[in-house]
Structure 1
Amino acid sequence: MFFLIFYSKADTFIILNGFHTSLLTIIFQIITFCGDGLFIIIVFTIIMISFKKHRDLGVVLLISYLSSGLLSQVIKQFVTSPRPSVYFESLHYAYYLDTFSNCRIGFRSFPSGHTASAFAMVTVLTSYLKKRHVWALCLLFAVAIGYSRIYLAHHFLIDVMVGAIIGVLLGTLSILWFKKKRFKIKKIVKQFQIAIHNSKTQHKPNINGSY
């Protein structure tokens, strides 16, 4: 908020990108993947398969990811906001980063979908994890993902901050909604599991090896 109040959009971006190295670029490319939809789906799949006692967590994670991602995409359709490289090019601003060569371009910068997904995921996780030091690590993890979007020149600070707000909001609403609809959702999941089991039983080969 300090940067957004006292500095312009361009100046804030330049200040936050004051230090770039090849190693940091590689590190933030790995970190930014943790805000990608594919990563969230991988986490969801691992929880559902390996941690049967915590399947509720997996379901809420998926709901928070889908809802935060959907809201982010809807806002993007109504707000025309150029990506950093396009923004600086349109202003004929003499500023260049090595990450500009691989960054996203276009006019769908606001808000940051990766940041929204990251903060939604962390909001859900912290509701299940009771230790405060874990909360701090989760927050640091989400902030690192948000900053990676700026470092890699995909977004401006305002994009990331609004993405974080969306993530926390939708993550919280997903938790509350799931608690309210928990019984119905469990019933649907159980029916789905029974249907899969019955399907496997019907296709089980007999003693002769035929169907």
Structure 2
Amino acid sequence: MQKLTANTRQLYPFLIPYLFLLILVLVFKILYSKEDIYYFINGLHFPAGDVFFPYMTEAGSTVSAIVACLLLLFVSYRSSVLMASSLILTTLINVPLKNLFFAPRPRLYFAAHTRPIYYVPDVEVLANNFSFPSGHTVCAFTMAVVLTYITPRKTFGYLYLLLALLVAYSRMYMSQHFLEDVTAGSVLATVVTIVWLSWFGNRPFFSDPRWNGSLSRKRNAA
């Protein structure tokens, strides 16, 4: 419990604004319906967003997760293992939840509705029952928490949170998910990753200084 508390304090630059935003989202959920929130966000499209968000959403993809783990090998082996293990764990939890809830994505949910919906041009809009929770959001928030944890300058947590939020918003902007989906994905990733880092990141075997090595240091030493 002490390690969990200590690690949580390290993540304050990420956690404090995130919790504030989470409260705002919950207030919106109380005041407005799922449909109202979806159509409001769907009405906020603009030309630059139609270009930006399809690229931004890829920051929460499997490819980006793999690239992040590989790049961290040049920072330290410990950082790479923490990132990879956290992503694997949150994914292993998220995938069964998608199958359990079997929630329709917006395109399928509104299939019988006559109200017009804007879809971003040249973007494949999924229409299946694996909407809840959002996998891209889980991936983005997992990476953001780990990066805040391993980065010496903790104020970078604000930047990591912003990037994760942009990924989450991109999923709604492109009609791939509802607000509920990305909110649940962010909570799942944040809670599970913090608990995992508090336990796994403090295992005795990580005290071996060799974990602080990296591919870049090894190359320089040679």
Identify whether the pair has TM-score above 0.5, normalized to the shorter chain.
yes
Partner of 1:4 in structure 2?
29
Per-residue deviation, residues 144-182 of structure 1 (Å, max 9, x unmatched): 111010001110000000000011012112212322435
Q: Distance in 2 between matches of 1:116 and 1:65?
A: 8
Partner of 1:152 in structure 2?
174
Partner of 1:44 in structure 2?
69
Question: Match for 1:99 among 109, 113, 120?
Answer: 120
1:38 shift after superposition: 1.1
Q: Summarize the alignment of residues 186-201 of structure 1 with structure 2, pairs less than 5 Å apart.
A: none
The runs of 4+ residues in structure 1 deviating greater than 6 Å are: 184-187
Quick one: structure 1 residues 131 and 97, their matched pair in 2 at CA, closer, same or farther if it must change by over 3 Å?
same
Contact 2:78 / 2:206 at 8 angstroms: preserved in 1?
no
Partner of 2:161 in structure 1?
139
Q: Summarize the alignment of residues 107-186 of structure 1 with structure 2, pairs less than 5 Å apart.
A: 107-183=129-205
Contact 1:109 / 1:155 at 8 angstroms: preserved in 2?
yes
Amino acid paired to 1:55: Y
Segment of structure 1 superposing worse, 54-63 or 21-30:
21-30
Contact 2:56 / 2:166 at 8 angstroms: preserved in 1?
yes
Secondary structure of 1:103's aligned partner: coil
1:61 aligns with 2:83: yes
Contact 2:105 / 2:127 at 8 angstroms: preserved in 1?
yes
1:93 shift after superposition: 3.7
What is the aligned-residue RMSD (CA, Å)? 2.2
Q: Percent identity?
A: 29
Rg larger in structure: 1
Q: Distance in 2 between matches of 1:184 and 1:19?
A: 47
Partner of 2:19 in structure 1?
none
Partner of 1:207 in structure 2?
none
Q: Distance in 2 between matches of 1:95 and 1:186?
A: 59
1:21 shift after superposition: 2.4
1:22 aligns with 2:44: no
Contact 2:125 / 2:174 at 8 angstroms: preserved in 1?
yes
Amino acid paired to 1:72: N
Secondary structure of 2:69's aligned partner: helix
Quick one: structure 1 residues 124 and 110, their matched pair in 2 at CA, closer, same or farther if it must change by over 3 Å?
same
Q: Summarize the alignment of residues 72-87 of structure 1 with structure 2, pairs less than 5 Å apart.
A: 72-87=94-109
Q: Distance in 2 between matches of 1:106 and 1:151?
A: 17
Number of residues paired by the alignment? 185
Secondary structure of 1:125's aligned partner: helix
Unmatched 5+ stretches in structure 1: 190-211
Give the alignment's TM-score, normalised by structure 2.
Answer: 0.76
Secondary structure of 2:201's aligned partner: helix
Secondary structure of 1:135's aligned partner: helix
Partner of 1:209 in structure 2?
none
Contact 1:88 / 1:95 at 8 angstroms: preserved in 2?
no
Quick one: structure 1 residues 42 and 151, their matched pair in 2 at CA, closer, same or farther if it must change by over 3 Å?
same
1:23 shift after superposition: 2.4
Contact 2:137 / 2:164 at 8 angstroms: preserved in 1?
yes
Contact 2:142 / 2:190 at 8 angstroms: preserved in 1?
yes
Q: Distance in 2 between matches of 1:77 and 1:140?
A: 29
1:73 shift after superposition: 0.6
